[in-house]
Structure 1
Amino acid sequence: MKQHRKRSYEQARVCFESANNIVDADKIWLNYYYLGKIAERSNILQALRYYELSDLHLALTGATYPCRLGYYSSYYTRYEIEALEVHYRIHSSVLKYIRRNSDKLSPKTLSQIMAFLTRAERSFFVEQMELPSDEFTDEEIMEDVNEVVTDLIGLVSDGILESDGPRLCQRIVQMCQEAMNRCLKRFLDHERREYYF
């Protein structure tokens, strides 16, 4: 069964990667999202790359980022729920990885995870509320990139990206918790829906 499952995941990965060559541009984010879910089971860094690409393609497709979402609302802006789901998935996958591999976390891998989470903190989901991504200027995008680089330099200066695994792991968990709170604040119906199942 394990071998069959592994083959099935590999077949699914090939299908989603192939689909990127023929699918409409506004659907590519979904392929990357599923590729991330597949990669989660074997390679957290690859999964995060796919989720990051999914988030980027949502922005390029014109996703909007309202500060409040309503599950039962009759009006939705473009891809607002999907953007929230990708942001949530980035951080939940990291928490699951840390829990499952707590006895064999390498500082190098944790440092790479930290880089992904730092970029996620500067994503359009976090920084934008009602502004569609097709209105972003090149200058605004470059400003975001420069802020990410500055953050990484700051982390190095503070010693966060050194070989202090426990300290780095603690910081990563904290960042993920902050992201979960961010998702709850945007979409409070998550709390109410728990009781319907």
Structure 2
Amino acid sequence: MTYTGAVTPDGAPDVRELPRLTITKVAVDEQMSNNAYLLRCNDTGDQVLIDAAAEPRTLLPLVGDAGLTTVVTTHRHWDHHRALADVVAATGADVVAGEPDADAITEQTGIEVGRRVGDGDTVGVGSCELEVIRITGHTPGSICLLYRDPDGHPHLFTGDNLFPGGVGNTFGDSDAFASLIDDVETKLFDPLPDDTWFYPGHGDDSTLGAERPHLQEWRERGW
């Protein structure tokens, strides 16, 4: 089956098999329809979960007996870490988050963020590597994770920073929007090619090439 990235809560996950990394996307919670992504290194079997958003009954069977080395929380908002405590309790995984959001995540979940990251840091998935890109605006410490596939195009996990059709919500804060759109343009669109496939925190995937023509339109509308 061809990967599309179209998933629904209580529906089947969608699986993308890359030469060195397998990406499994699943949606959780009918109301919020959050995406969670399980990444597995094909060489070592090590696994990393991006956003333990909700429904451990859905996430833990995906993890299975292979275990989990790390859970990355893309930002502090409650809908992206409701299953964090249960997943960590079941797997003993390390917890990673952007430094400015880490304290809020701990306060909300009771789980200590063991590793606080920012621009230039990396998160290992076995022999594969994710580059951390900090994007300020949706929250102070939101992060994206970039996998530069040596056998193909880049893969970018954007949390709530970038979606098909626009950037994340800044709740009417014009300064936050300016920071967000600037970071998205200079840290994502400027350095990365059009065939970069991105995986957002909610909804369908897209590519930077499909969204690039609309950057100025997003700036002008202010959201």
- For normalisation by structure 1, the TM-score amounts to 0.32
Q: Quick one: higher RCO (CA 8 Å, sep 6+), 1 or 2?
A: 1
Structure having the larger proportion of residues in strand: 2
Q: Which has the higher helix share?
A: 1
Rg comparison, structure with higher value:
1
The normalised TM-score by structure 2 is: 0.29
